Each structure stands twice: as C-alpha cells, then as structure tokens.
Structure 1
Amino acid sequence: MTLEQRITAFAGQGLTRKAAAAQLGMSYDQLRRFTKRMPDLRWVRDSRVPAEIEAIGVEAFIRQAAARNWTHKQTRTAMNMSASKFAMIVQALPDVAWAPRGVRGDMAARVRDNPRAIAGRAKGRAVMMARHTHTVNGRSGTIPQLAREVGLAPATINRRLATMSLAEALAKPSRRRAKPVNQVVAA
C-alpha cells in the first residue's frame, strides 16, 4: 500500500491529520506538506477519541501501540488525548512496555537490538573522537579536555586558535589572576 493510499484510508476512517501523522511516524508538518497535493481529502477536526479506538477500547489500543513500539507521544496523538489525561491512564497500566526514550517508535526494535546498528554507532563515535582528538606536548584529548588540564575555558582556547597554534594557545597563561584559596574578602 502506497503512502498516498494509507493517508486516504486514514482520512476516510475519520482520523484527524495529527492522529494520521502519528500512525505514519511523521510530523504533522510533514503530513500537511505531503497532503497539499491531495486537495480532496477531508480531515476530522474535533478532539474526540476516534471511532476505531473506541471500538477496541482505550486500554487495548494503548497496549497494541506499545507492542508496535510507538512512543507515548505517538499513542497520545493518535488518541487525540491531552498529556495529563494520557499520563493518568498510563499510570493505571504499569505493565505496558514502551519504546525506549530517544528512539523513534517505529525504529525502536530495529535500532535497539540490531548488531550492525550497534557496531555502526560505535564506529561513528570512534571516528568522531579520532577527528577531534589532538596531541600537544605528549598529552592527547579534545580541546575541552586539554583546556581543563591547563586550567582554561574551552572558549578561550577556541578564540586563541584564530591567531595561534594549539600548542601556543594552551601554553599562554590566562589574563585573570588566580585568587588565593584561603584569602577572605573584606566587605
């Protein structure tokens, strides 16, 4: 079934545009831009729970959505429900297993357990660290790490790099005078 057919089916079932976007795993704006070329669609504008959800029951729909690895927001949006009302219902159903935070609902199972994805993320982190690691006078680290070792702010080092090398930027002392630790300031 093509995306246009799925969208037409959702509109025909009486879903709102927001609910259809949640079920398709796209943002509301993406769906709105996509449906501009489909002017004959009629979307529901009210905030009732859609008829298909009422037919199977709210609890059953929430459990099915969690089984499909939908996020809280995707499920809540599909049900046209406020965040506070949805939170109360979810608290009453503590045994529901949701997709992990930070992972798009429809991608959760593929991303979480896929060895190739795990290896790819590890390789990406290694490449980024290699790209941002510098060695100066036998010490290696990123600019923030090296700056902390010499007692300077990373922003100071970055500003100095416009006119000098990294070794010079780290060697140059701070313009601020260090205050003695045990000195009491008189008021």
Structure 2
Amino acid sequence: MKTTVAKQFLIVFSCAFLILESNAINSNSKDAEAFSIYSNCSDKDCIIYSNYLDKIKVFDREPGIHRIKKVNDSLYQIIYSCGNPCSNNVFINNKGSEDWTDKLIAQGGSCLIEYNIENRKFVAREVFSNKYKVILMLGDSAYDSAIPIWFYSENSYFDNEILVINVKQKSGSNKKFKFIKPCDLS
C-alpha cells in the first residue's frame, strides 16, 4: 500500500510541475507576442503601427522608405532612409518610449555606438539613456577627418560583445579598433 501512495504522490507532483512549467512557458510567449511594430503599405501609402497588449496605435502615417528590426521582445528599431546613404534611427520600447539618433554606426542589443563628426568622437550608450562614454577620439592627424558617418556605419560591427570600428587613415589604409563590452558604463 505504501508504494501505491508514493506512486500516486509522484504522479500528482509530476503533473503539477508540468502544468506550472507549461504556464510559465505560455506566459513568456504571451509577453513576447504582447508588443510589436509593423507596417502596412500599399502602392499609395504606408503606415507604421505599434501594437501593445492588443492596443493598436499609428506610429507614423508617412514613413517613406523604412525598415523595421526587432531587437528583442520589448524593443524595436525603425531605420528611416533619408537618401543614400543617410538614415535616421528610432528605437521604440513596449512602454512607448522613443530614442532617435542620426549618428548611429553600430548597434548590439541595446548598446548604441554613435559618431559625432564635428568633434570626431565615438561614444557608447544604452538605448533610452543619456549616460555615455567616449570610446574613441580621432584627435590624431593620421586619421582622415573628411570621412562621412556612413563610412563608419558600413565598416563597424559587433562580433558577440566585441565592437569593431574600422577607421580610415590618411595613408589610405584602415585601422581596426576593438572594444569589449563598450556599453559597460560601470
């Protein structure tokens, strides 16, 4: 009799565990589906929508040429083209916050790398944050100061948590700079 009670307890415990685990998985998938950014375009017009918890809002009625990229379950990026190679970027989270930048050269998760052509600084910051750190300054006369921002955006990238920035030198060659976890501001 003791073995059957133990077996019944084990079966009840296993079933309860599976139910709880399946609810946790369903809850996570519902959170992932609770927020989205999408566009609906026809020949004549295009509209970008945000959908959060089944509440659909118009984000932009005339977006022009754009691309929508899902960064994670609570963050999207919209890249607006303003001519070749010009672009503006907006990051939108599930709380409706927006973070606009026209200086973006690389993005890894919520880490943004921006370049200011006027003071020749590369800065790292987390999206929706005003805190940043200067990761590279091209004060040296060996670097070509006439390089436009699109050169850096086409030649900079994240390789896992390592940022690689290719910088054009006056000699014509490129120099690679590497930064591990550039948005770690601690």
TM beyond 0.5? no
Structure ID, larger Rg: 1
How does the TM-score come out when normalised to structure 1? 0.25
Query: Of Structure 1 and Structure 2, which has the larger fraction of its residues in helix?
Result: 1
Higher relative contact order (CA 8 A, sep 6+): 1
How does the TM-score come out when normalised to structure 2? 0.25
